[in-house]
Amino acid sequence: MDTAKIKKIIPRFSNAKILVIGDLILDEFVWGEVSRISPEAPVPVVWVKSESFMPGGAANVANNIASLGAKVYIAGVAGSDERAGILKEGLEEKGINIDGVITDDSRPTTLKTRVVANHQQVVRIDREKIEGISGAILDKIISYIKGVIDEMDAIVIEDYGKGVISARLLKEILTIAKKKKKIITVDPKEEHFSYYKGVTAITPNHHEAAKAVGMKVKDSESVLKIGKELLKKLNCEGVLVTLGENGMRLFQKKGAVTHIPTVAQEVFDVSGAGDTVISVFTLALAMGVNMKDAAYISNIAAGIVVGKVGIAVITQEELLEKISIKVKRQK
C-alpha cells in the first residue's frame, strides 16, 4: 500500500458524491447496567440510564460516508410514523440528502432496539415488515435514481432483505449505471446473490459467500475456492470477503487474490462493521484508488470501528491517524 498516496487521497473524500440505495433502518439503543437477575425468569434486570437513536442499515452506510466528508444521497422507503421523522431528521442533521426517501403508508419504518448493559448487548428487538415494496413505490425510487445518477461518483447497494432491493430494481440500476460507467458496490443479502451479476464489487462476509455458492467454510483453502467461484458466478471486478478476526480476502477478476490480516486490537462491538467496510471501500474506489489499496484502507477503517461500542462511524482524521500508526509500527 502506497501510504503517501493514500494520505493524499483520503482528504479528497470530501469531493465525492455517493448514492446509497437500500433498506433504511432506525437503530434504537437502550443503555444501562445489570446488577442482578430477575426473580421472575433467569434473565438480567437492566437499569436503564439513557436511550438514543442512530441511522441503521442503508442509513448507517450513508452516515459512514457522510462522516468521512463525502456528499451523500440516499434512496429507500420509510413509513409515515414517528420513527420515520426521527430517522429523516437524524439523516438531515448529518447533511445527507433525503429526497430519495419515499414514504410508504403501508409499512412501518424498520426499528431495531438494542439493549446494551455493561458494554454488552443483552437483547435485540426487531419491528419491521419485510415484504417487497409495491410497484408504485419502486417506480418512484427508480425515477429518483435516474434523476441524480449523472452527478454520482459511485452507487452503493445496501441489501438487508427488508423489501427495497429486488431483481427489477437491480436490473434497472445496472442498465443505467453501466451505460454511464458508474462504480456499483453491493453489501449483499445471501438470498439475493443472483441479482448482483455484473456489479463492480461485492463485500459479503464468509458465511454469505459460502451460502451463495453452496459450499462450507472449513479452512483457508475452502475460502479460496468460495471466493473464486463467487467471482466467476457474478462476473464482477472484485469480491471482498470479510473474515471477522481473520481479516479479509480480496478476489479480483484479473486473477489476483490478496489476504489482508485484521488490524483490530480491541473488539467491543462488531455491529455495523460491514457498513464501514463498504463505505470506505466505495469511497476509495470512487477516488481512483485501485481495488487492493481500497480493501486495505477499508480493513483499517473496520479495525477502528469495532473498537467502539454501538453502531459507530469514523472520520478522515481517525483513518489518517490509524494509517500513520500502522506505518510507524512497520518501520
Residues known to be catalytic:
275
Q: What is the largest CA-CA distance in the chain?
A: 63
* Distance of alpha carbon 22 from alpha carbon 92, whole angstroms: 17
**Eight-state DSSP code of residue 133:** P
**82 Cβ neighbours under 8 A, 6+ residues apart:** none
DSSP 8-state class, residue 205: B
307 CB neighbour count, 10 Å cutoff: 16
CB 144 within 8 A of CB 169: no
All three cell numbers of 234: 457474478
Closest listed residue to residue 27, CA positions, set 53, 62, 50? 53
Whole-number Å distance between alpha carbons of 176 and 170: 10
Residue with cell 425468569: 41
- Whole-angstrom Cα distance, residue 46 to residue 3? 45
Of 297, 185, 289, which is closest to residue 237 (Cα–Cα)?
185
